[in-house]
Structure 1
């Protein structure tokens, strides 16, 4: 698979999550540009509730976030970072930094770059081309990490390309995981609940698609063995373990907004 900045900039179709102005990276348009760390480095992701994960990330992400699935039919994993409001609870409001010692999903570590299919002059033999979000605040002329040196990709850009290639491979593995999971009737729409301090009545605050543990436990031995050999069993258990993070996420929101007891309840009902 060829992954190089495209020499000619054909039009880019469609949209990409978090990319405000995606463009095919090329030396004609971006030869003098580079990346410098902006004042608020994660500001681009501060108004989201969930972030795509690859299947290999689920064990790490499950320690910090509830891990859910996008839908039953095409079950792509997501890390939940916000609830009720369009607010990422893991980004500091003042500094725009991600909370320390918390796993940062690869989708964000890859940003402002990505890969896309570039059919260019030969639609029958497409290649993977680098995408850059021109709307990212860290992209400036003569940035600390230039995109190009003397018309060729810089060392920093080569590293970004390698990371994007690795991420793309993980993404393809995630699609295969989704196809494998679809063979089993494990997923269902579920509801997360929270009981505020000073009350005795649990209140729903989030609907999501998750794994039904009882269906996994009731699997016949031959099917369970088949599942174990497919190497997705540890992934499923990690997702189940991550459900314990719902309460921590709700408490995180309450601390940020100085909510207690009945105030938490009111904010849930008014959202």
Structure 2
């Protein structure tokens, strides 16, 4: 937490945060946070959500898990494709029952971020633009001159998430080092057809490159306990079929329309 005077500044951009501010008692003494009427409306227009390494086995049961790029292999849970529409959030802003909700979204509107000026120091951040932020809220961020119990719980979860995210970064460097993340194409064969149609591109583990690793390279990855994550990612790609079905239901499309990127008129 930062308690500097004035308006603290944050370095870089933060996914989904429209007005991130470093939390400080001078600026946010009266602020509180109420649950939003539409809890996940803030992420209803996205296609993917960042994941940490510990989330991948659970997330892989419902979402295709891919990587942002070769150079930045951030794990992502795919929640939509072709258009900016989260297929797991309904019109009331609710996340689908029993579907895993990534920690990045559960910690929102809080996060940890670097302060301007560089260094490794991280500060507690709140998105001032979040619908539930209000001076009228009974769930205050500060009480008696210090963080409230509510804010402390949020900070603890956020710190745990950040620790996992940093571990994720370290493990992803190993995948980048051995160049096993490559561009790939998802394909689907509509009913009545015999040839698969490509419908979206993503970055994933190249299984041929994986099996071509030397014994020493394989051992290094094994010692990092990363193979469970690798296999969860590979198995998760079967969920592309479910994503097609979801897009068909959401927009009342045929299979061909769903994979082509069509939208109803």
Structure-2 change in CA distance of 1:133 and 1:216 (3 Å) = same
Match status 1:252 vs 2:249: no
Partner in structure 1 of residue 47 of structure 2: 49
- CA distance in 2 between partners of 1:224 and 1:13 (Å): 37
Please report how far the alpha carbon of residue 126 of structure 1 lies from its aligned counterpart in structure 2 after TM superposition: 5.8
For 1:231, which of 220, 225, 229 is the aligned residue?
A: 225
Bigger mean CA offset, 187-196 vs 41-50: 187-196
Q: C-alpha displacement at 1:187, in angstroms? A: 1.4
Deviations 1:34-67, CA, capped at 9 Å, x for gaps: 1111111111101110111111111111111111
Q: Which moved more, 1:127-136 or 1:196-205?
A: 196-205
The alignment covers a number of residue pairs equal to 263
Q: Secondary structure at the match of 2:95?
A: coil
**What are structure 1's unaligned runs of at least 5 residues?**
none
Question: Taking structure 1 as the reference length, what is the TM-score of the superposition?
Answer: 0.90
Shift of 1:7: 3.8
1:65 aligns with 2:59: no
Cα distance change, pair 219–266 in 1 and its aligned pair in 2 (3 A): closer
Aligned counterparts of 1:267 and 1:188: Cα–Cα separation in 2: 23
1:20 aligns with 2:18: yes
Sort the Cα spacing of 1:131 and 1:261 in 2 relative to 1 into closer, same or farther, 3 A: closer
What is the TM-score normalised by the length of structure 2? Answer: 0.92
User: Which sits farther off after the overlay, 195-204 or 246-255?
Assistant: 195-204
Alignment of 1:1-271 (within 5 A): 4-8=1-5, 9-93=7-91, 95-118=92-115, 127-264=121-258, 267-268=261-262
CA deviation digits over 1:165-224, x for unaligned, max 9? Answer: 111111111110111112213111000112233433322221111001122233344432
Give 1:136 deviation, angstroms. 0.4
Cα drift, residue 262 of structure 1: 4.2
Structure 2: tracts of 5 or more residues without a match = none
SS in 1 for 2:177: coil
Q: Secondary structure at the match of 1:204?
A: strand
Equivalent residues of 1:192, 1:246 under 8 A apart: yes
Contact kept in structure 1, 2:62 and 2:100, CA below 8 Å: yes
Query: Once the 2 structures are TM-superposed, how far is the Cα of residue 68 of structure 1 from its aligned partner?
Result: 0.6
Take 1:191 and 1:13, find their aligned partners in 2: how far apart are those partners? 34
